Amino acid sequence: MKLTPLADRVVLKTLEAEETTKGGIILTSAAKEKPSVAEVISVGPGGNVDGKEIVMSVKPGDRVITDKYSGSNVKIGDDEYTIVRQGDILAIVE
């Protein structure tokens, strides 16, 4: 199954959190903070959204930082995705 976002929406897959700290301490699942870095899976076409012309500035494969509690979570099979508006993406990680 393929997710195709509409308008200014972007489908993201959250990247796994680190399991150890730089000092070598192993973190339990309860101690891990929800990561805010994700990979762009697919991008909507942009266009006229709410009376404004939106040009999409991210592309599939980009790594991005999002607002921690933004978007809608979707589970397809064993994979979990988050669908956000492009405006909820804070930065592209290079």
| pLDDT above 60 (res 29) | no
**More confident call, 6 vs 33:** 6
Q: Could you give the domains of the chain? A: 9-16+30-93 (2.30.33.40)
What's the rounded mean pLDDT across residues 21-43?
Answer: 71
Q: What mean pLDDT is predicted for residues 69-89?
A: 93
Q: Residues 33-78: pLDDT tens digits?
A: 555 799 999 999 999 988 999 999 999 999 999 988 889 999 999 9
- The Cα 82–Cα 74 span in angstroms is 6
Reduced 3-state DSSP string for 6-31: CCCEEEEEECCCCCECCCCCECCCCC
Read off the tokens for 25. 């301490």
The residues facing 89 across adjacent strands are 66
What pTM does this model have?
0.80
Report the distance separating Cα 29 and Cα 11, nearest Å: 25
